[in-house]
Chains A and B, each alone.
Chain A
């Protein structure tokens, strides 16, 4: 890929995961929808044969996954959508899922549900039916429902709803054949939908008359969404109708006046009435038993007295696995063993024999060459660290621990303008800040996304960088303590300031706490694989780009210029001028910089206070080029440049202050 193309690719408006064949002619489409944590992705895997990420965490499948599967004699295109609770969308995921329904004209929509929470799930079922969707209802996790003593009369439920209903345990493959059978034999029939009270019905009818018929959602559903003031739909219809929208506006105002409570409440209550009527007919409502086996452990993870020690223990486990096994043992093996002994000498020999020109050799195999630096870094350093991190993260995710972490930390995060939900990008940031910046999408308000993005850029070192930093401070407990303390203070202080300064509504926290589940090995492996694959596809080109830019910068002399400019602030914070080079390279990959410092430490130039000061400054300093691209893509160029303009001087300011403080206090390091 060409440099310009890579940048365009990263800056482009479209998704970075564009698929070649958007439109497959003649292929019937199946779309899977459902609330988070119901096993949608497992059903998807069962239907397509290709297993995709399954998750306990609401919000990890922001991307839409597609696959093909043969059901009966026909081939289908199958699409998995992000979790949605309601057609009336609040979150980014719900908006994505709904637009899939609106754009893709599905042949069948499978609503995957958690059978034991059928009362809640039926709300979406009724909405889908109302929207004219060809729905098949899948009561998944049926084993858990039976575990709590719940019985559901499937035939009666089918009669009540007028759509096919199947029960499955997707993880065990139970009921999948029946589901496939129903899909193969699917015929679209008119299903029953609910009647609302007179004022609402008359408003719906009047709105329906004005609406154009071009959407795959029924006019009735769109009318209801408009009445409930769904922002996305309102904008869409307003743009479509232009002046004609005023007539709609009048109907909506008039209807609103008719009720004392908001219309979404009135509509939800009518639906609830219908749901309860149906539930009364199909299920034994006297069930009282709960999942007591895992309850106790679940309680321990949430209680502050036991939850916080468990949290610290998990963090320590994470450190041992990623920081020690990944970043030290495995990196050492790959870097010094595989690359140091074999690949680099070999590549150097081969290249110098083929290409006699010094400049060309430098591009490929010199100190900063594509092979010796770019690829070596990608494979020897990043791969082991990132892989171990994603294994650990997938395990934590699949057990359902993340929402518990979120509820423990919510109070603290509120102080920095975020809510508990933001632990996901923050924890992920310790793995890869670039990926974490993308995941800030799960936050609901623009304000939270801005705060989280800045904190990720400033105060969260990624695993690659952490690896080198830990190596730099190895055996230096006091130095490590100062590093962690300063980073934590900056994280909290900057967040606190941002919370005061960034305008916008204060965040609220609400989250479903799923049952604790044992992670499945196969699941963890596929998930890690998918993520590492993504990481490599997106990041490796940038590594190579970085090597090329460094090469260009060096032969044109631009780098010397920048380094000499950078040496002033570097000098000012009391670290050797030579470190300026490391800071510049730090921009191309956060860990290039840290590794540059490592070389300085090894040669004895950097030690004591300047070492700790430079590590702190480096960690705060600019994000790597990939993260910058992602920040531009997610937050826009203005915001991204604004953040850089803050981070750059701020990192050196803190470095300088820390240096002075350590000198005055005469700290021995």
Chain B
């Protein structure tokens, strides 16, 4: 397994050489030298090559680097959407978190989040194998209630309103994690069935209710 530092170098390399430009990265501009243990580690694995001036990704290294970036951005998404961590703390936490997420966990996190395309800062999240699979079979995905189409069913996964009063309103109406919901109508207000009753809410309220879909999402 790669060391944390090595993963960070891969991430940096991928972002600078693949995403932001296609120029190679000159090692002397960075704080690393060919003798740093992490770079040695990467060279040994054949993930990167060094021509005396530039450090470039190659072969497996390219894939591995992409995966680190993906995990980092998924971690940010997870913290922003589910754990409700403030933006200024995102970066620091995500950096530590990405190293903890391994492949299987990564897919679960990605699925839970509904295969997001972008990190909270608007940068693209590299596509994983679970996202590709999702394009064929819609697995249980967590969506906001306002994204459901009439006929979609599922269970409430979590509530996230960003406003304590609104949260309380949802709670008192019996809209709680685990409760079954079915979307009935989207316009002019969102109408859904919950248990044996029907509720009408506006978009703001519907955005706070996150539903784990059952079966395929209708179009």
Contact = CB atoms under 8 A, between A and B. Distances in A.
30 contacts: A85-B174, A90-B165, A90-B168, A117-B174, A117-B197, A120-B173, A148-B196, A150-B196, A264-B168, A264-B171, A265-B167, A268-B176, A299-B185, A302-B191, A304-B187, A406-B200, A407-B188, A407-B191, A408-B189, A409-B188, A410-B188, A410-B202, A419-B202, A506-B204, A509-B200, A509-B201, A509-B202, A510-B199, A512-B197, A513-B200
Given A260-B84, A304-B187, A407-B188, A85 B198 contact: no
Interface in A110-167: 114, 116-117, 119-120, 123, 145, 148, 150
Contacts of A86: 168, 171-172
A412 to B, nearest CB: 8
A39 interface: no
A406 B45 CA distance: 66
Contacts of B193: 290
Interface string B158-179: 0100001111111111101111
Contacts of B170: 510
Nearest to B84: A260
B119 interface: no
A508 B177 contact: no
Contacts of B167: 262, 264-265
Given A148-B196, A302-B191, A508-B205, A90 B169 contact: yes
A304 B187 CA distance: 7
A148 to B, nearest CB: 6
A341 interface: no
A302 B191 CA distance: 9
A88 interface: yes
A265 B188 contact: no
Contacts of B200: 302, 403, 406-407, 410, 420, 509-513
Contacts of B176: 268-269, 272
B159 to A, nearest CB: 7
A510 B188 contact: no
B165 A411 contact: no
B185 A414 contact: no
Q: Give the most central of B159, B169, B179, B188: most A CB within 10 Å.
A: B188
Given A229-B164, A510-B173, A117 B201 contact: no
A261 B162 CA distance: 10
A122 to B, nearest CB: 10
A88 B171 CA distance: 10
In the complex, the 10 A-B pairs of residues with the closest C-beta atoms, listed nearest first: A120-B174, A407-B200, A85-B172, A509-B202, A513-B198, A86-B172, A116-B196, A407-B189, A268-B171, A510-B201
B177 A269 contact: yes
Interface in A20-54: none
Contacts of A238: none
Given A120-B195, A262-B167, A302 B185 contact: yes
A120 B202 CA distance: 21
Contacts of A302: 184-185, 191, 200
Interface residues of B, number: 35
A393 to B, nearest CB: 21
Nearest to A291: B196
A192 interface: no
A117 B172 contact: no
A470 B99 CA distance: 76
A508 B199 CA distance: 14
Contacts of A116: 195-197
Contacts of B197: 114, 116-117, 120, 512-514
A571 interface: no
Nearest to A87: B172
Interface string A289-308: 01100000011001110000
B195 A119 contact: yes
B135 interface: no
Interface in B115-132: none
B199 A262 contact: no
A404 B179 CA distance: 23
Interface string A323-339: 00000000000000000
A119 B173 CA distance: 11
B150 to A, nearest CB: 10
Contacts of B185: 299, 302-303
A349 interface: no
Contacts of A119: 174, 179, 195
A85 B169 CA distance: 9
A276 interface: yes
B83 interface: yes
B165 A511 contact: no
Given A86-B172, A119-B179, A508-B204, A513 B196 contact: no
Nearest to A122: B174
B193 to A, nearest CB: 7
Given A120-B197, A290-B193, A510-B200, 17 more contacts: A85-B173, A86-B171, A90-B168, A117-B196, A119-B195, A120-B195, A261-B84, A264-B164, A269-B177, A302-B185, A302-B200, A304-B188, A403-B200, A408-B189, A409-B188, A410-B188, A512-B173
A558 B43 CA distance: 102
Interface in B125-159: 159
Contacts of A512: 173, 197-200
A94 B209 CA distance: 23
Interface string A81-122: 000011010100000000000000000000000101101100
Q: Give the most central of A268, A276, A420, A510: most B CB within 10 Å.
A: A510
Given A508-B202, A509-B202, A410 B195 contact: no
B86 to A, nearest CB: 11
Interface string A628-655: 0000000000000000000000000000
Contact of B169 (A304, A406, A508): A508
Contact of A88 (B166, B172, B178): B172
A119 B156 CA distance: 15
Given A303-B185, A410-B189, A513 B199 contact: yes
B13 to A, nearest CB: 34
A509 B166 CA distance: 10
B42 to A, nearest CB: 36
